[in-house]
Amino acid sequence: MSSIIGNKLKISLFGESHGEAAGIVIDGLPPGIELNLEYIDEHMKRRAPGQSVLSTPRREEDKYSIVSGYFQGKTTGTPLCALIYNENINSKDYNEIKSKIRPGHGDYTGFIKYKGFNDFRGGGHFSGRLTAPLTFAGAIAMQILQSKKIYIVSRIKSIKDISDDDGINLHENEINRLTKMNFPVLSSDKLKLMQEKISEAKENNNSVGGVIETYIVNVPAGYGGPFFDSVESKLSHMIFSIPAVKGIEFGAGFDITKLTGNNANDEFIITNNKITTTTNNNGGILGGITNGMPIVFRTAIKPTSSIGISQHTVDLHEMKETEINVAGRHDPCIVPRVIPAINGAAALVILDLILERDGELWI
């Protein structure tokens, strides 16, 4: 697996935060797909830094360059490689971390795994920057799924202790509305409160996290499998690849453990000659396989690890304890920028599951 994932649709991720480029090879795209570059740009822009006063002032356009697998405006069916060259890099901000490991980051574990040879600048290969090519690939997957009326939408369910209202309505209009919001929250009151929490953290040189709720709508019943091909297995594998994720739950998730069986089970009914369920505590997945209901999952995003507050740590070279203050341009809350990565990552999984079962005859 390594930095490669997928069965029929494979992606191979590469790059470092402060190296020459981050990029991705997408292998297994159907041929003849006319890429909607504007649509892709929209997703890239949502993920890019510097979009709001609440995010890092590091402003990058995240312009991608497609170097293969794309001919006369369409996918060729051969591997598509895209690069995002790194610009606006200020390496000297990171000089300190060469030896001081930043709490919450992969500095220490990367040092051990790569025996000190990994590019430590800005987190190197561990950087959230790698979600840019992932978002690029995910946007292509989303475009293909949408042509089959499969939509993916996320909202911010909570920031710190502020939660959005219950009850998302999944009409195409609302999906589109949320998709276009940089800070997608249903309740405008809660949205304001959440942003206040972030501003407060920013002022304090601190950070906050939150929970993202994602819906995948119109996946027909029958995709996935029991055991290692379960939709939960595939989605969780992919979602935990995104930096800062510490939990995932499907349907009612951890709360389902507080129900009794008769309330937890989703009863079956027939609606318009189609089998559906009255509730969706299982999040659209039964026995690891889609049941036609929306796939619903929530992802826990930890507070940004880089903070402007002094913290206890270790200097690896001198092997002694010290203090670190992670100066630099960081987001007080990464949650809004993670959304396009989660949507795209989920799209890659779903498209892979569909292509794997139905093959290219599906397109």
Site for its own copies in 17-36 (CB under 8 A): 19-23, 25, 27-28, 31-32
Kindly tell me the sign of the dihedral angle through the C-alpha atoms of 317, 321, 322, 324. Answer: positive
297-336 footprint of its own copies as x/- string (CB under 8 A) = -x-xxxxxxxx-x-xxxx----xxx---------------
Q: What is the three-class DSSP state of 136?
A: helix
User: Tokens 């009409």 — which residue?
Assistant: 171
Nearer to its own copies, 42 or 78 (CB): 78
Read off the DSSP letter of residue 121. Answer: G
Site for its own copies in 242-301 (CB under 8 A): 243, 245-254, 256-262, 264-270, 273, 275, 277-278, 281-283, 285-291, 298, 300-301
Amino acid code (one letter) for 137: A
Of residues 116 through 175, those in contact with its own copies by CB under 8 A are 116-119, 123-126, 130, 158, 160-161
Q: Examine residue 203 and tell whether it contacts its own copies (CB under 8 A).
A: no
In sequence order, the β-bridge partners of residue 163 are 158
**Interface of this chain with its own copies, residues 40 to 69, rule: CB under 8 A:** 65-69
Q: Quick one: which of 5, 35, 44, 150 contacts its own copies (CB under 8 A)?
A: 5
Residues contacting its own copies: total by CB under 8 A = 154
Cβ-based nearer residue to its own copies, 63 or 113 = 113
Which region among 43-51, 169-177, 188-196, 201-209 touches its own copies (by CB under 8 A)?
201-209
Q: Are 134 and 22 in contact, with CB atoms under 8 Å apart? A: no
Residues 95-114 that bind its own copies (CB under 8 A): 101, 103-110, 112-114
| Residue 226 DSSP symbol | S
Which of the residues 219 through 238 are near its own copies (CB under 8 A)? Answer: 221-230, 232-234, 236-238
Q: Which is nearer to its own copies, 49 or 106 (CB)?
A: 106
Instruction: Tell the smallest beta-carbon distance from residue 339 to its own copies (Å).
Output: 14
Residue identified by tokens 């990058």 is: 60
Residue 57 or 226: which CB sits closer to its own copies? 226
Find, among 206, 203, 286, 200, the residue nearest to 251 by Cα: 286
Q: Which stretch binds its own copies (CB under 8 A): 37-45, 76-84, 175-183, 186-194?
A: 76-84
The C-alpha angle 213, 218, 224, rounded to 5 degrees, equals: 85
Return the closest-CA partner of residue 300 out of 241, 238, 247: 247
Measure the CA–CA gap between 262 and 208, rounded to whole angstroms.
Answer: 37
d(CA 246, CA 97): 24
Residue 8, interface with its own copies (CB under 8 A)? yes
